[in-house]
């Protein structure tokens, strides 16, 4: 395993790992084994099981990011304050050794703690943002990272200077699964017109709790078919994200399915967007951090 290392994105619900040789991806694996599925004190043994043959005959360096560094994770790694650079991430990283001898690092998340304002945090997305900067050769940009907790971030001079979190994905799941809005719905279909109607509704000057009920009333009136309620609700919630800041080019970082939805909503607001794969950004960000970690380690020898 000489020269090989492992990049890991270990979140609340899912686990993803890439076996790397320098900047080349040799193999990839994923599992629905986020930290919520790991028993206390079992992170070491769980990781060894998930990595399997990758660590059976060696002990490659492991670089991790995500909720694995949270209070509920393997080790709690303190957040890095804004503005955040790759250097500051490395300074706040947690280093340890696994039971099979691999040197492991957990990259910290980032904390936004403005005076007199609402604090915010992220874990994992910061790696994608630095990866995007490297892949596209850009130092100043805005980006949205869709997901369970969507992130809107700004980078200046290759430092993350601001970000905000929107519970769009989680709120959608709760509403469609546990509320009256999603009760007795048939299987959902892709309906861009219903989605864009939801986006248009988000632009009304009304409270979110009032707008949400329209997913019920439009269904009752027959204006939206039951199988399209899900897309209407999705458009309404995603559209609310664009109501707060809708100027300038925005990068959309994530899966094709999610970035397509956000691009559709952005177009309705007249916002220019560019899409990029989230995994590519994560790998590029971790490559850069791993190289700096290796250089730092060699400099201490």
**At which residue do the structure tokens 């945090």 appear?**
121
Q: Is residue 30 part of a domain?
A: yes
Q: How many helices (H) and strands (E) does the chain have?
A: 9, 14
184 and 79 both lie in a single domain? no
Write out pLDDT tens, residues 69-83: 998 899 999 999 999
Is residue 299 pLDDT above 70, yes or no? no
Is residue 47 pLDDT above 60, yes or no? yes
Is residue 278 pLDDT above 80, yes or no? yes
Write out pLDDT tens, residues 92-111: 999 999 999 999 999 999 99
106 and 136 both lie in a single domain? no
Which has more confidence, 116 or 178? 178
Most distant CA pair in the chain: distance in Å?
Answer: 72
Residue where a domain stops, chosen among 123, 154, 180: 123
Residue 248: what pLDDT?
82
27 and 158 both lie in a single domain? no
Report, as an integer, the average pLDDT of 34-42: 88
147 and 275 both lie in a single domain? yes
CATH number of the domain where residue 81 is located: 3.30.420.300
Q: How confident is the model at residue 297 (pLDDT cuts 50, 70, 90)?
A: low
Is residue 242 pLDDT above 80, yes or no? yes
213 and 230 both lie in a single domain? yes
> Which pairing describes strands 141-145 and 103-106: parallel, antiparallel, or unpaired?
unpaired
Residue 298: what pLDDT?
66
145 and 280 both lie in a single domain? yes
72 and 128 both lie in a single domain? no
How many domains are there within the chain?
Answer: 2
Q: Which of 173, 160, 165, 121 is nearest to 145 (CA)?
A: 165
128 and 277 both lie in a single domain? yes
Q: Is residue 73 part of a domain?
A: yes
Is residue 179 pLDDT above 70, yes or no? yes
Q: Is residue 24 part of a domain?
A: yes
210 and 182 both lie in a single domain? yes
Report, as an integer, the average pLDDT of 278-293: 92
Q: Is residue 297 part of a domain?
A: no
Is residue 229 pLDDT above 60, yes or no? yes
153 and 27 both lie in a single domain? no
Write out pLDDT tens, residues 195-214: 999 999 999 989 999 999 99
CB under 8 Å, gap of 24 or more: what pairs does 111-120 form? Answer: 111/79, 111/80, 111/81, 111/82, 112/82, 112/162, 112/163, 112/164, 113/81, 113/82, 120/163, 120/164, 120/165
102 and 249 both lie in a single domain? no
Please report the DSSP string for 113-152 in residue order.
--TTS--EEESSHHHHHHHHHHHHT-SSEEEEE-STTEEE
Q: How confident is the model at residue 301 (pLDDT cuts 50, 70, 90)?
A: very low
Q: Is residue 299 part of a domain?
A: no
140 and 271 both lie in a single domain? yes
Cα(154)–Cα(140) distance, integer angstroms? 8
Q: Is residue 296 part of a domain?
A: no
Report, as an integer, the average pLDDT of 161-175: 95
Cα(140)–Cα(138) distance, integer angstroms? 6
Is residue 292 pLDDT above 90, yes or no? no
- Give the number of other CB atoms < 10 A from CB of residue 10: 28
Is residue 300 pLDDT above 60, yes or no? no
Quote the domain boundaries for residue 57. 4-123
pLDDT above 70 as % of the chain? 97
Is residue 136 pLDDT above 70, yes or no? yes
Residue 246: what pLDDT?
67
Q: Is residue 68 part of a domain?
A: yes
Residue where a domain stops, chosen among 123, 144, 171: 123
Q: Is residue 45 part of a domain?
A: yes
Whole-model pTM?
0.92
């Amino acid at each position: 395993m000489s020269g090989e290392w492992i990049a890991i994105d270990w979140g609340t619900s899912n686990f993803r790992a890439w076996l790397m040789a320098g900047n080349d991806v040799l193999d990839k694996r994923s599992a629905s084994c986020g930290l919520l599925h790991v028993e206390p004190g079992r992170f070491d043994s769980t990781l060894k099981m998930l990595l399997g043959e990758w660590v059976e005959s060696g002990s490659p360096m492991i670089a991790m990011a995500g909720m694995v560094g949270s209070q509920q994770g393997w080790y709690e790694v303190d957040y890095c304050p804004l503005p955040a650079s790759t250097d500051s991430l490395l300074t706040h990283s947690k280093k340890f050794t696994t039971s099979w001898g691999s040197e492991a690092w957990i990259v910290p998340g980032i904390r936004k703690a403005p005076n007199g304002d609402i604090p915010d945090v992220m874990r994992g997305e910061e790696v994608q943002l630095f990866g995007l900067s490297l892949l596209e050769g850009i130092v100043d940009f805005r980006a949205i990272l869709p997901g369970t907790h969507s992130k809107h971030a700004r980078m200046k001079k290759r430092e993350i200077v601001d970000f905000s979190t929107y519970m769009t994905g989680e709120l959608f799941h709760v509403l469609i699964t546990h509320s009256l809005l999603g009760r007795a719905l048939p299987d959902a279909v892709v309906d861009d017109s219903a989605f864009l109607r939801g986006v248009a509704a988000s632009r009304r000057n009304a409270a979110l709790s009032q707008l949400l009920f329209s997913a019920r009333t439009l269904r009752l009136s027959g204006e939206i078919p039951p199988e399209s309620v899900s897309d209407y609700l999705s458009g309404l919630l995603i559209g609310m994200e664009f109501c707060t800041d809708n100027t300038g080019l925005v990068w959309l970082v994530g899966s094709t399915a999610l970035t397509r939805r956000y691009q559709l909503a952005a177009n309705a607001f007249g916002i220019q967007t560019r899409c990029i794969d989230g995994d590519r950004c994560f790998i590029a960000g971790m490559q850069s951090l791993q190289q700096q970690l290796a250089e730092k380690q060699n400099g201490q020898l």
